[in-house]
Structure 1
Amino acid sequence: MTVKSRIEDRLSEALSPERLEVVNESHLHAGHQPDFSGAGETHMRVRIVSAAFSGMGRVARHRVVNELLKDEFNAGLHALAIEAAAPGEPGAR
């Protein structure tokens, strides 16, 4: 199972999102460090819209997502960009 699919499964299970997109952006970071070619699944972007985020601020939403994905960070995920919104908010496209 890929990192992307594990992230999708974990967030879907925990947050029942109405929209979820997980994008591997590792290739965009090639060359940022001498030994990093951009291969693999080390840099991911999550775009998620979930009613679970209603009433939460941006930092709280990020904490929820980061906590849910802590095993992925422990296994080698290096960076995660998070775009989290509640239904009906700007960015809930």
Structure 2
Amino acid sequence: MHPEEIKKLIKQHIECDHIEVHGEDLRHYEALVVSAAFNGMMKIKRHRLIYQALGDHMAADIHALSIKAMTPEEHQSLNP
């Protein structure tokens, strides 16, 4: 699965301020998702939202996914 497809799926389910998806081998991916939807959510709930957006692709097309899910404020504090 191409990283752009993963990006598109996430964007269809979560309103994102910023999103990056990388996966050189098309099986192992890294995602940075910045969304106000994550406000007040613990890390596990943020990850669940992303997994829900990807649905069956998590079992069929994606072998591993490393996720950084941040609010805009958290992202801004890391990148002033």
TM-score interval (norm. to shorter): 0.7 to 0.9
Deviations 1:36-62 (A, max 9, x none): xxxxx1000110100111110101101
RMSD: 1.8
Aligned pairs for 1:2-17 within 5 A:
2-17=1-16
**What corresponds to 2:35 in structure 1?**
50
**What corresponds to 1:60 in structure 2?**
45
Q: Distance in 1 between matches of 2:65 and 2:24?
A: 9
Q: Distance in 2 between matches of 1:66 and 1:25?
A: 20
Cα distance change of structure 1 residues 44 and 73 upon mapping to structure 2, 3 Å threshold:
same
1:92 to partner: Cα distance: 6.1
Aligned pairs for 1:10-89 within 5 A:
10-26=9-25, 41-89=26-74
- Provide TM-score, normalisation by structure 2: 0.83
Q: AA paired with 1:3? A: H
1:4 to partner: Cα distance: 1.3
Q: In terms of Rg, which structure is larger?
A: 1
Deviations 1:4-57 (A, max 9, x none): 12211111121121110001143xxxxxxxxxxxxxx10001101001111101
Q: Distance in 2 between matches of 1:54 and 1:89?
A: 10
- Provide TM-score, normalisation by structure 1: 0.73
Please list every run of 5 or more consecutive structure 2 residues that lacks an aligned counterpart in the other structure.
none
Whether the 8 Å contact between 1:20 and 1:49 is mirrored in structure 2 is yes
Q: How many residues align?
A: 78
* Higher percent of residues as helix: 2
Q: Secondary structure at the match of 2:3?
A: helix
